Amino acid sequence: MDYYLFWYLAIFSALINVMITIFIIRELQKRGVKINFFLLRLLIPKYVHQYKKMTLEETGSVGKLFFWWIVSINLTWILFIIGLVLKV
């Protein structure tokens, strides 16, 4: 039963990641980047790194959304794998 907690936390982390992705897409659109919504799920890593590059060029540092995106996606995988290990 403990593994469900990790799965719920993984789902929550994945939802946070989706929200951060939406914020990144919105920031790119503000800067004039054309977003392909049809292939968005495949192109998300490209857009995230494009956001990183653009914010680095503009401000001299990487935008905070990039770090939150990296943390949330990795946390999702870690929590899900822990849940799988505990289930077995």
pLDDT digits (tens, 9 = 90+) for 6-55: 999 999 999 999 999 999 999 999 999 999 999 999 999 999 999 999 99
pTM value is 0.89
Q: SS3 sequence, the chain?
A: CHHHHHHHHHHHHHHHHHHHHHHHHHHHHHCCCCCCCCCHHHHHHHHHHHHHHHHHHHHCCCCHHHHHHHHHHHHHHHHHHHHHHHHC
The residue range of the domain holding 55 is 2-87
pLDDT digits (tens, 9 = 90+) for 52-64: 999 999 999 999 9
- What total number of domains does the chain contain? 1
